[in-house]
Structures are given as C-alpha cells and as structure tokens.
Amino acid sequence: MINEEENILLKQGKMLPVMEHFYTLQGEGAHTGKAAYFIRLGGCDVGCHWCDVKESWDPNLHPLMNTEEIAETAASFCKTIVLTGGEPLMWNLEILTNRLKELGCEIHIETSGAYEMSGTLDWITLSPKKTGLPKPAIYAKANELKMIIFNNSDFKFAEEQAAKVSENCVLYLQSEWSKRDEIYPKITDFILANPRWQASVQTHKYLNIP
C-alpha cells in the first residue's frame, strides 16, 4: 500500500505508479507503425468490462517510480512517448511531461477523458467510455477519437461522441479484440456509409509485439 509520504509525492507528480514501460511500435490509430516508448500507468476506475488490461486498474499493485527517471529512460530510446494505462489522467502529469519536453520528446496520450487534463501533450487519443464520460473540455483538444465497438449500440454512441470533437479530429472505429471477426464487417459497412470515419486495427496483436 502507498504510505503517507509516497501519497504526497504521487499528488505532486514526483512519483507515478508504473505498471510497465517498453519500447515498441504504436499499433493503433494515426501513428500506427511508428516507433514509440510506452509508459503504462496503473490506476483506472472507468470499469470497461471488456478491458484487456484489467490488471492495471488497482494502482496499489504497481511500483511507484521516480517521474524524472522514467522520463529519462523513455527518452533514451525514442522521442515519441505514449502515456497510457489504466487511465493516465488520474495522475498529475506536469513533472513527467515537462521533463520529457526538456529531453526533446513528442508526447502522446491515450485516455478516456474521464479526468481533468494535466501536463503538456502533443497528441491526444480520446477513447470515450459509457461508464465514465469525458470531461467537456477535452473534446476540443482531441486529435483523434478512437471508439471501441463491442455491440451494435456502440455505433450510435460513436456518432454522439464524434459530434462533440473538432472538425480536425480524426475519427476511428476499432473492434473489441475478441469480437473482431464479427465486428469488422459491420465497421466496414458503417464506414462505407459514413466515410468520415476510418478503421483502426490493433496491428501490434497481429505482429505479436507489446
């Protein structure tokens, strides 16, 4: 469990619960195929029943790491950094992102938008969930909207969320992985009828990389 001193450092953003960090290729969305260093932060209470990293939900299960040290490690591999989770916006990202910017990095984030934004971010992938809707301010800042399709009602939800982002935001539909054989034909038909949308595929799972 996190003690009182660690909790203070956590709130300040000087330490963060890091589930894992690794160098790989971005597998999804507009930057698919690009080398990137991922920092996966523990902690999420949005509660998607189909989440493929449920082990990230409890921040107490993941070690607290010195924020500047993890930034320096990440930047030594690559200048494209992806903050993911869990839900990374649960935490104060100011110190982490400031240090990454000092090291010449471009910072991407993958978020449900359910928490207030913090830090300096260059690319925001907004992936709204019905169980914890985004804060209103993040819609205008999102660079890409990634909607996960699990059942037919998710197409309506996707359109509702797309109505809230800027006209420059790239719109993606991505099947929940376990239902891909069923869902991608539906996504294809939907995009052909609504060509402002694009398909996103989890290419890293086909490549068998993190």
pLDDT digits (tens, 9 = 90+) for 148-207: 999 999 999 999 999 999 999 999 999 999 999 999 999 999 999 999 999 999 999 999
Adjacency order of strands within the sheet including 80-84 = 64-66, 15-25, 35-41, 80-84, 106-111, 123-126, 144-149, 170-175, 197-199
Location of structure tokens 């999804």: 28
In 3-state terms, the chain is what percent helix, strand and coil (to 5)?
Answer: 40, 25, 35
Q: What is the dihedral of CA 146, 86, 24, 100, to 10 degrees?
A: 100
Residue type, 195: P
| Closest to 12 (Cα-Cα) out of 55, 68, 70, 59 | 68
Mean pLDDT on 109-128: 97
- Check whether 62 has a pLDDT greater than 80: yes
Which of 43-47, 91-95, 160-164, 178-182 is predicted with the least confidence, judged by mean pLDDT? 43-47
Q: What is the DSSP letter of 20?
A: E
What is the value of pTM for the model shown? Answer: 0.95
